[in-house]
Structure 1
Amino acid sequence: MTKLKEFPAGFFWGGATAANQCEGAWNIDGKGVSISDVMTSGSHKVPRRITLDIDESKYYYPSHESVDFYHRYKEDIALCAEMGFNIFRMSINWTRIFPNGNETEPNEKGLEFYDKVFAELKKYSIEPLVTIYHNENPLQLTHEFNGWADRKCMDYFLRFCEVLFTRYKDTVKYWIPFNEINCLTTKLGNWNHAGILNGKTEFFIAQIDDPSKRFAALHHQFVASAKAVLMGKKINSNFQFGTMICHITVYPLTCNPDDIILTQEEDLLRNCFSGDVQVKGIYPYYIKRYFERNGISFKITDEDLEVIKKGVVDFYSFSYYMSNCISSDKESAQVSGNVMGGAKNPYLSASEWDWQIDPKGLRYTLNHVFDRYNVPIMVTENGLGARDTFEDGRIHDEYRIDYIRQHIEQMRLAIDDGVNLVGYTPWASIDLVSVSTGEMEKRYGFIYVDKDNEGNGTLDRYRKDSFHWYKKVIESNGNELY
């Protein structure tokens, strides 16, 4: 048997963050209020709430301080450099640059902050991978026209993009216009991914859904992404743009043909639709029929379709945490998950938050994606949310090491299969606020932050065992995993 192919030279090893989950400084240096800033804390059993009027005497808002990357970015980037990162996935907070989203001139203080972040990354020869929109819609745009449900949002977003592309044309090469854009194929995507609020203020449950409005918002983001690509390439032809898909890998629970058909439908809608639009530049046949069958209607112009066709992305990136099963049996046991749950897979274990752990599913997904699109791929989120025990300045997180090790092993097998995988930025570089529950105790980072669910703690940073292990992985280019 031939030796497995190794990770290629120049492979991107790093980690991921998001501004709304790590920066804090929610009202400092001219920053405006985003949709994340009005979300309270919650838990696996208690849903986060959306409070359009902020009341800090009644609620705790975890994004307001988060882990204070805004003031501690030098320390955090130095720790990432110590691990050996050569790429750092981050996002730029829209309301730090345009506080209400609709200003004509940007907030210089906000731009200066990212100037400093990029300078610090350059100091350590770390490539920034920048997500432009990562759940940070300006709240004012929700008040004015319900966020991305209105085409007006595109114009404001593109003004934001133009400022970033011009300011950082010689600093940033890799851009992701929208984080997990396909989440708008689910009800949960209304608020977090589009700033749409139809009356209900529980984040995770009972959001009032208007599918026509939600898919219109997704369409507006497709068009905005394509226009951003075309604009960016004019400013710097070396810019590289990627899609970012929340890949909810699905299997049929049984060999019942009903399960198989349902699984195919789910995969096309949740995973393939957004990739087909952004990578292939087309609205696929199956989604048109889905709209017809479900009475979904919104405005798509010929100009929109032409822009989408021209403004395709250069690479495919995705988050992968777990897989789900699909069953036609409504009585089948269920589990939770990232964005959506599914039928329980009897062959898999699950995390405390009921997310099934499936490393082999990552290899399956990488092959599935590369076969469909044949473009370079990055895994831009992958990790284990778990409670860490802090004892005598040490965090022994062998469970996280084991999770990431198994997924890296499967990535190498996918590379051996022939997949063009070019980067890995697990979630997360550092402990940060969980977007689904607002908790700190659901930790993902290689770096421990002393802060609890109520906001108490010193915010001091500590290296976990996984920090030292991942450092060896990077030093060996993925060869030393044990």
Structure 2
Amino acid sequence: METENYFPKDFLWGASMSAFQSEGAIADDGRKLSVADIRIKKMNQQFHTTDTSTATDFYHRYKEDIKLMAECGLRSFRFSFSWSRIFPDGNGKVNKKGVQFYDNVIDELIKYNIKPIVTLLHFDLPQSLIDQYQGFYSRESIQDFLNYAKFCFNHFGDRIPYWLTINEQDVLANIPFFNGLDNLSQSIQASHHMNIANALTMKLYHSLDLKGKIGPCLSYPTRYPASTDPRDQFLAMNLDDLGIFYLIDTLIYGKYPAYYINHLKSKGIMFKTKKEDSSLLKNVKPDFLAINWYTSEVVGQYLDDSQVDDYQGPELPRQNRSEKGVAQYYKNPYTEYGDYNWNIDGVGLRLALRKIYERYHLPLMITENGLALKEKIDHGKIHDQKRIKYLNQMIQSMSLAIKDGVKLFSYNPWSFTDVLSSSQGMDKRYGLVFIDRTNTDLKVLKRIPKDSFYWYQKCIHENGSI
């Protein structure tokens, strides 16, 4: 169904990937291991998926992939630098071959008039920093990240119009092993140090008088209360606040909200600070906010067999997912679900964009958005109609959000090619382009554009008129 088109003519239609999920070549040309390499190797051993050693081999096939991006009509490409490819130890000497690789990728993108959008850290902290001082759990990480960022700004900054600092810090704060750490208390302390690193990095970038822009990148699922019970209503709001808005508030206003500090103290996991931290966090002015949005969730109060209360829960199908003592998750009967239990909810995206923009009044960029499917080649083609349905809803909702007044300037769905999933390896596919390999057989890594590739190609050509 075609809707009225509100996309500006200069809207940046793109796609996204990350280094550890696509590059491979984890020991080539001076690169050393990251926490992602270690983490996914363990997942591979436990669940027989695959590791990061080859992934989709973007390291050797970037020209082929970027040529396909140009064929699709992409105007932007959001990707990440591997910190351990540029600084193998996270600090110390620069790896010239790693720098040359990213020079080549950037120049190839520019050759096709595709604007590079670069993330400095995407779940792949150098393992050496964990070995040296436990990574972001230590304050030493702040200066090392700042030195890494400064090198990148000085070397690549004349060609990069948009920078993202740390991908999904809200996720890293709550999943310790994603950051190479052991427990939540360490992770919360690390998140505080990442906030300071974020603030100093954005201030550094603006001090260099470069022509580009910089902002944080955060994950936000729209949350609906499971019922009109006031407790469910409050729960959904509180999960939003504790999951995402406290972090954006801190990065923009330079101060932690009181409800967040009180929450940490009540759980006995309050982070340690120094006197200068307050001033370090202040006067940060992100140029935009980058949002990773995939799905909506329905949340209600936690229920178990021993609970004695008058609350029985809504008449909705329960999901297996729950957080003990916090929340029970439900399926939304008004939305369709994909193969991995995430739903298709364009209205949820519009709601999220409205809520974030009206709260912060900063331009927005969507840096991840997609539907994971289990896919196989069918007579040389991949018919991913459910993904097309998903993208169609998202793009219609984005147009309506722009009509509402939201300043949305770029859309980069996840992902351009299929990429390695942290938990399901190559079984879980998001791409517009199929990578013909399995968890156990690399084959020849043939690239096959899916039906969604051609649908998106037309969408870009028509500037969102679908």
Shorter-chain TM-score above 0.5: yes
1:180 and 1:329 map into 2 onto residues whose CA distance is 26
User: Which residue of structure 2 lines up, in the alignment, with residue 195 of structure 1?
Assistant: 180
1:64 counterpart residue number = 53
Confirm whether residue 136 of structure 1 aligns to residue 124 of structure 2: yes
Inter-partner Cα distance in structure 2 for 1:271 and 1:243 = 12
2:213 matches 1:240: yes
Q: 1:451 aligns with which of 437, 449, 462?
A: 437
Look up the SS of the partner of 1:365 in the other structure. Answer: helix
1:391 aligns to what?
378
Structure 2 residue 71 is the aligned partner of structure 1 residue 82: yes
Q: 1:365 to 1:297 in 2, by over 3 A?
A: same
Instruction: Work out whether residues 378 and 422 of structure 1, in 8 Å CA contact, stay in contact via their aligned partners in 2.
Output: yes
Greater CA drift, 292-301 or 237-246: 292-301
Once the two structures are superposed, the pairs formed by residues 161-310 of structure 1 within 5 Å of their partners are 161-186=149-174, 188=175, 190-192=176-178, 194-196=179-181, 198=182, 209-211=183-185, 213-310=186-283
User: 1:151 and 2:139 equivalent?
Assistant: yes
| 3-state SS of paired residue (1:462) | strand
Unaligned 5+ residue runs, structure 1? 51-57, 199-208
1:13 aligns with 2:13: yes
Distance 1:172 1:472 in 2: 27
- Indicate the residue corresponding to 2:400 in structure 1: 413
Equivalent-residue separation in structure 2 for 1:49 and 1:290 (angstroms) = 37
Letter of the 1:266 counterpart: L
Moved more, 14-23 or 347-356: 347-356
Task: Please show how residues 17-56 of structure 1 align to structure 2 within 5 Å.
Answer: 17-40=17-40
2:319 maps to 1:334:
yes
Q: Does the Cα contact within 8 Å between 1:248 and 1:271 map onto a contact in 2?
A: no
Q: Does 1:423 align with 2:410?
A: yes
Structure 1 stretch 251-260 or stretch 312-321: which is displaced more? 312-321
1:260-311 C-alpha deviation (Å, 9 max, x unpaired) = 1111110101020111112333212221221232222222234222222122
CA–CA distance in 1 between the matches of 2:244 and 2:45? 28
Q: What residue ranges of structure 2 are gaps of 5+ in the alignment?
A: 305-312
Q: Contact between 1:380 and 1:426, CA under 8 Å: does it hold in 2?
A: yes
- Partners of 2:268 and 2:40 in 1: how far apart? 34
Shift of residue 376 of structure 1? 0.3
Q: Which residue of 1 aligns with 2:307?
A: none
- Could you tell me which residue of structure 2 aligns to residue 123 of structure 1? 111
Instruction: Name the amino acid aligned to 1:102.
Output: N
Which moved further from structure 2: 269-278 or 345-354?
A: 345-354
Distance 1:16 1:336 in 2: 28
Larger mean CA deviation between 360-369 and 297-306 belongs to: 297-306
- Is the 8 Å Cα contact of residues 21 and 433 (structure 1) preserved in structure 2? yes
SS at the partner of 2:7? coil
Alpha carbons of structure 1 residues 217 and 455: separation in structure 2 relative to 1, 3 Å? farther
2:389 is the counterpart of 1:402: yes
Partner of 2:308: none
Report the Cα distance in structure 2 between the residues aligned to 1:312 and 1:9, rounded to whole angstroms: 27
Q: Does 1:353 align with 2:326?
A: no
Q: What's the CA shift string for 1:118-139, capped at 9, x where partnerless?
A: 1000101111000000011111
**What is the SS of the residue equivalent to 1:15?**
strand
TM-score by length of 1: 0.89
Taking the aligned partners of 2:415 and 2:199, their CA distance within structure 1 comes to 28
Q: Is the 8 A contact 1:39 1:49 kept in 2?
A: no
- Pick the aligned partner of 1:442 from 412, 416, 428: 428
* Contact map agreement 1:280 1:373 (CA 8 A) in 2: no
CA deviation after TM superposition for structure 1 residue 356, in Å: 2.6
Assess, with a 3 A threshold, how the Cα gap between structure 1 residues 397 and 8 changes in structure 2: closer, same or farther: same
- Distance (whole Å) between structure 2 residues aligned to residue 344 and residue 415 of structure 1: 29
CA shift, 1:335, in A, is 4.9
1:13 partner SS: strand
Alpha-carbon offset, residue 341 of structure 1: 8.2
Of stretches 170-179 and 231-240 in structure 1, the one that deviates more from structure 2 is: 231-240
The residue identity in structure 2 corresponding to 1:8 is P
For the residues of structure 2 that align with 1:250 and 1:106, how far apart are their CA atoms? Answer: 43
Distance of 2:45 and 2:265 partners within structure 1? 34
Q: Which moved more, 1:306-315 or 1:440-449?
A: 306-315
Say if 2:161 and 2:212, in contact at 8 Å, map to a contact too: yes
| Two-structure CA RMSD over aligned residues (Å) | 2.0
Which secondary structure does the structure 2 equivalent of 1:426 belong to? coil
- Which residue matches 1:202? none
Write out per-residue CA displacement over residues 219-238 of structure 1, whole angstroms, 9 at most, x where no aligned residue: 11111011111111222342
The 8 Å contact of residues 386 and 443 in structure 1, kept in 2 or not, is answered as yes
Whether the 8 Å contact between 2:88 and 2:95 is mirrored in structure 1 is yes
User: CA–CA distance in 2 between the matches of 1:230 and 1:49?
Assistant: 42
1: CA distance between counterparts of 2:45 and 2:251? 32
